[in-house]
Chain A
Amino acid sequence: MNDKLINLMADLQEEETMKMVGELIEAGSDPVLILDDARKAMELVGKRFEQCEYFIPDLMMAGEILQGISKVVKPHIKQAQVGSRKGKVLIGTVAGDIHDIGKDIVTFMLDVSGYDVLDIGIDVPAETFVEKTREFAPQVVALSGFLTLAFDSMKQTVEALERAGLREGLKIMIGGGQMDDEVRKYVRADAYGKDAVAAVNLCREWIGG
Chain B
Amino acid sequence: MEKTPEELYREREKRVLDVIALKKPDRVPVMAMFSFFPAKYSGVTIREIMYDPEKQWKAYWRTMIEFEPDMDQNPFALRYLGPLLETLDFRQLKWPGHGISGNFSYQFVEGEYMMADEYEEFLFDPTDFMIRKYWPRVFGSLGGFRKISPPRHIVTYAMGMSFGFAPFNTPEVAAGLDALKKAGERSMEIASYAASYTQEAKKAGFPMQYGGFTQAPFDTLGDYFRGTKGLMLDMYRRPKEVIRACEKLLILMRDIAVGAAAASGNPRIFIPIHKGLDGFMSMEQFHTFFWPTLKDLMVALINAGLVPCPLWEGDCTSRLSTIGEIPAGRAWYGFEATDIFRAKEILGDRVCIKGNVPLSMMATGTPEDVKAYCKKLIDIVGRDGGYILDAAASLDNAKVENVRAMFEFTKEYGVY
Contact = CB atoms under 8 A, between A and B. Distances in A.
Interface of A: 12, 14, 53-58, 60-61, 64, 95-101, 123, 147-149, 151-152, 177-180, 182-183, 185-186, 195
A39 B318 CA distance: 31
Contacts of B364: 151, 182-183, 185-186
B365 interface: yes
30 contacts: A53-B282, A54-B282, A55-B282, A55-B285, A56-B279, A56-B280, A57-B235, A60-B229, A61-B233, A95-B102, A96-B100, A96-B101, A96-B104, A98-B94, A98-B107, A100-B110, A101-B110, A101-B229, A147-B107, A148-B360, A148-B394, A148-B397, A149-B105, A151-B397, A178-B359, A179-B360, A182-B360, A182-B361, A182-B364, A186-B364
A149 B279 contact: no
Contacts of A151: 360, 363-364, 397
Nearest to A155: B364
B131 interface: no
Contacts of A152: 397
Interface string B265-297: 000000000000001111001000000000000
B232 A61 contact: yes
Nearest to A105: B229
Contact of B360 (A123, A149, A183): A183
Interface in B239-285: 279-282, 285
A170 to B, nearest CB: 22
B107 A99 contact: yes
A123 B397 contact: no
Given A101-B229, A123-B101, A149-B397, A55 B359 contact: no
Given A147-B107, A149-B104, A183-B360, A61 B236 contact: yes
Interface in B334-387: 358-361, 363-365
B279 A182 contact: no
A99 B274 CA distance: 14
Contacts of A179: 360
Contacts of B232: 56-57, 60-61
B230 to A, nearest CB: 10
A147 B396 contact: yes
Interface of B: 94, 99-102, 104-105, 107, 109-110, 228-229, 232-233, 235-237, 279-282, 285, 314, 358-361, 363-365, 393-394, 396-398
B360 A14 contact: no
Nearest to B99: A98
B367 to A, nearest CB: 15
Nearest to A104: B229
* Minimum-distance CB pairs A-B, first 4: A57-B232, A96-B104, A186-B364, A148-B397
Contact of A182 (B99, B237, B358, B394): B358
A179 B363 CA distance: 11
A96 B394 contact: no
Contacts of A60: 229, 232-233
Contacts of B396: 147-149
Contacts of B99: 98
Contacts of B398: 148
B279 A55 contact: yes
A57 B360 contact: no
Contacts of B94: 98
Nearest to B337: A180
A56 B281 contact: yes
Contact of B280 (A53, A55, A186): A55
